[in-house]
Structure 1
């Protein structure tokens, strides 16, 4: 396997999606779906395959591309679309060319509702596609139970009905239809049922549930309990049904979808081509910034270049914001519904591509990765220099006992654990977080100055304005104010406080800067808590041994060195105790733990 393929496998996302294998000529040779892209694609290269065809396929793979989707169902539908579009050499092609079923609300007077595998552009509404035929049948059965509709294909025009051209059939007598053909049901009443059915198919049940609840109570109040029971059964049916999601609305046809996300140095753009209500093409790439270009400028360039490269003549494009690319193309910025969701899917693919590219850079060129992270942190945290060396402080005390503090050190965005330090609070009495913070910051940098060690570019204190002020006082006492940047990070809403600024900074929750800052804070907290826990344990051990009459500190120290814990001291024999601390003291300790034996 080539180094390029190995790198791609390492950075694949663990999400549902569709993968495409390309040969050395950039021709698609296989399309597959996966619940977990990373596991599924990696399995081709790690397992011993019994099938000779699969072994040949793996040998011919030169490049891997993928499209991220929301669910396994969406992956199945997308796989079907791509196989039919590209007809890859190693995919099985269905000879009957059947596609997935849809639900159709026919464009006619007194519309029928039925299942179909053919989407015809006659103004009818299509919902789906559904990956399970069983789901469609359950949904149709539910609709039939809730709302009696006609199943005949008669032309129920005003003229035909008024002339008495049709007669009611058996379905009317079975109460499965209300006889619209003989004008026994008004068009308005029928269309209200269609409106409710449309909502049910989309998963909006509230209106129908409220209506049936009202009807059930009315029947019950009128002592019509059989009718009330029928409505209750319909309510139960409706409550137990869950609608299935769809990847693309069939009304979206011949459209190009574009999106872009960016950081300091690069932008990442995605293109999806929609044809006949299906994704048939996806392409994602990165664009290196030259002159600090905006996302709007870069997306316009990307759209023009991609449409030329793929010879696209789609009259409409969907984008996340307005772009100017000429008068002949309709530019739509979706706000709600399926159009909005398809733009969000495009953005999701761009975001995953960015993550993969950054992972690859981290593996292949770690220094470039560090430079990018440091440049981003410098900008986000409003620093004058890159924070290559960061130190973070946290206090730990429980009800004022054993107050300690911790300092953790990060270099180039990664922990430098050999430089971590613990502090026992010496000058502060009781649970005083502010005083403790001032003490440890002062002691830390006083020592670094005395030892002529390099100072950090950034200090982070765990806490809000109070802790930040305390850290600042310590730096002032050492003459370091203004020479080292110092900020505070509060736990509740992750606010970042700066000296002299009462308004906190809120970083993007998904930004790498916030993640590294949180990592620092959490690491300082973990390191401090561990030290505090150990100190309390030792304190508890000593306090138990100190309860023994006429036993001094030196004897306790000797016992703990020999037996390691108070429990082992308690379990020790008299002879073992004598060997450690002598006859007379051993008798006192043995008598304390074994009073009955001594008697």
Structure 2
């Protein structure tokens, strides 16, 4: 029975809002936003020239929901929240598990410049976001070369007794050993911030005036230092691919490249009139959907600027409603945002660069995805897995590995391969507790049970394949858990290592009774994919285990010491540069720390070394 939308359409207001379509099973088909709900929703049911994809979607609608919002910008935010929550079938999704990197200048007496990902605060100075990590690293190299700012971490900086290699080659001014005073270093930091703010010309003029002043005062060595700074800075600006000559411009350049069903959205960033590079996105487009560049562009803008700051200028070659887009972004950012479709001059160069990089990124993506897809198809054939409608993007493999050091800091990892690639945002680590140290079977039982218990309750879906890094014993343990949970054991595949642990000699072990182990051989593309996923699970597990072990070894001892609170603990670690330096310290060295008495120093020493301290006493024996 066709869905009758007339009663709902009659009562819809001509206001901004969000609409949702659901099928008979209650699954969300589509989430959309509208400036005018009545007009937008009516277009789905009154038009006769709908695209095949939209026509199929409309034929599946069984229920509709709408929410009125106060503004179109509010509708934009609500739309993205609902897309994340409901995972609608017909929406174009941009999945990216990596946050944008920043360049950080710390709030210290001698500020440190560093690479940073995560939430920003008001205490330190953050510059960005940058489109990729390489852009940040290049910026740090510039600040080292031109302004000689330090990059070393706090404990290293506070405990150095001689200049480091960077200072010796002229990439750091050596504040750790007093080679530069606080005032001069602060001036270098201020100039670096001026450069990052895009005020390069003003900075060069200031440096030129400073050089002339030193020359007039016959301070030729200081003048030479400033001269070298100007030369280095000029060289950097000369290498900068495009630099505007006026104004402090912040802009995003967005282009869409499409080849058949494959699409790339490329985002280039300009901050402070400096081109910082670009970043390519590959949207998850529903199978069989016609590629509409305008719709893809709008989906990207709505999802990207939900969490990212909106620059004052958007440059794109994708046609669309310019005024509508400007209105939404202006409201979202609470300041004027301009959208330019036909730029000129330097802005035209930015757009051409962005388009070229989009084509290159798409070609590279198609080549990699084609290789991955062929390997995935071969693996499904080998494992006798049928894929409904040949929708390979829905094939999901999960792989487990256990890692520990002689039973210490046991961790299990679960990595996910989905959509013909590793889905890093779906990776999980599990801390294993309550087992005998070194018991890998018990660890595997615990992680399998914790991961798939929600599946047995109907709260999650079972993956297509569950890969276990191990042989018959590990597979048997996983099968027992699956049987207890009432799950299909045929999805379990063990990856037993071959002779010498060499890639290509692995054996696939199955949980199904009567199914013989399978040796694919070194030339098998399917085995190469399994080995890649297995190695990624091992890497993810061992890095987590090492981090947990380091945390246990370096902090838990001091945290457990009686009489040692956070402040004293920090003073000890700063003074000795970590637990290793503290262990090598004598009682007398520890007692020199402010707030630590001789008695407490003896107790710290004995707890560190697991024995009573040996204290030399004066005697009158001859």
If the length of structure 2 is used for normalisation, what is the TM-score? 0.32
Give the structure, 1 or 2, with the largest relative contact order (CA under 8 Å, sep 6 or more): 2
If the length of structure 1 is used for normalisation, what is the TM-score? 0.33
Q: From the CA coordinates, give the structure whose radius of gyration is larger.
A: 1
